[in-house]
Amino acid sequence: MTCLKGRMLRPLSFSLYIYGHIYNLTNAIYVRKHMAEPSAMNQNGTTTKLNQRDETSLVNEEVEVEHLKQCLPKTTWMGSKQNLLIKIQDFWYLTNFSNILTFQTHFLAQDTDLIVASFPKTGTTWLKSLLFSITNRFVNPPNKTPLLTNNPHELVCDLETAIYGGNTGNSKLPHPNQLNELPSPRLFSSHLPYSSLPESVKVSSCKILYICRNPLDTLVSHWLFFPKLIKKITGDENFQPSNIEDFFEDFCQGEVIYGPFFEHVVGYWKQSLEQPNKVLFFKYEDLKENPSAHVKKLAEFVGMPFSTQEENEGVIEEIIDLCSINTLKDLEVNKSGSLSHFFENKTFFRDGEVGGWTRYLTDSMAEKMNELIEQKLGGSGLSFKLKPL
């Protein structure tokens, strides 16, 4: 069967078969490029250039991967015909997803690792700031914290993009071969759904802190944020994203980057119920409503609870104030710095409001989303506050 407008009309089993081939080839390419045998090392311990035969093999494998990708389901991304999304393991990613496969295969979790997990644009930056401040408060008190001179994403690095995503243009971010040198507990993050995390993350005693946000605010934040990334990737400064009405439909259909949203959220929600000592589940709206209680819960979960003395001295409130969006967005590093070639630090800080979606979406959209929430979450015990009380 053939492609129609970028979408493959093939049975699911065929997609899984093709994905398996891509998975094996991508990891063979990674090993050739990054894990040379001792015989390929020179006297100084650095990797020598691949011989012509290996280079030819690499090129052939990379070409085959690109051909195989054409057989997987695809869809447009926010109206961009240059940047399609491709469906693997039931979720949508950018077509250049080799970084995800190498992360899944080669990352070895340690029992002391702490991983912030999230669907994009749901409070990731905030949770990273809180986690870093809590785990480093004895070494770096709030008035001397690296948060004052570093973007939160440089201190809690994203695994599949920043670490396994290749050259980001930021020397502060570690490479895969440097991960064992990081002090414990290592702090990481990921946007992958739970089902797609590396097996080492699932079977180790590392802990996952997941944050989600109501779907309407998440949708609007996506719509405002990702066109900037598409412009950077394509080099097309004149790119205009699909209108909010069309993007709303894409979001409801699950055809957004790292989507579907509800399946992503429910996956971690179920794990937090089944493995409460491994997965801690936060809702952005609850964190906004009662930050003190949730910061204490976070500290207890990672094994670094606040002492009575710290509570009396106002350490919790000090951390909350330091990590607030108003404080972080006013820091010079977050006004002018860049996380990578694609992201300016200031793009990670907008307004952080609950219910800001009301300025962009209609009542009929909200009604449709409420019906979808009931359909997707009914009986799960999970609910969302769409507006502040």
List beta partners, residue 190.
117
List beta partners, residue 41.
47
Q: How far apart are CA 173 and CA 157, in angstroms?
A: 7
For the chain, strand residue ranges (E) read 3-4, 7-8, 74-77, 80-88, 91-94, 114-118, 157-158, 187-190, 207-212, 279-283
List beta partners, residue 77.
80
Instruction: Name 361's Cβ contacts closer than 8 Å, sequence gap at least 6.
Output: 216, 219, 220, 244, 248
Q: Let me know if 191 is a catalytic residue.
A: yes
DSSP state letters, 73-129: -EEEETTEEEEEEEEETTEEEES--HHHHHHHHH----TT-EEEEE-SSSSHHHHHH
Which residue in 191, 222, 264, 294 is the catalytic one? 191
DSSP 41: B
Q: Which residue has the tokens 């035969």?
A: 53
144: left (phi over 0), alpha (psi -120 to 50) or beta: alpha
Catalytic site positions: 191
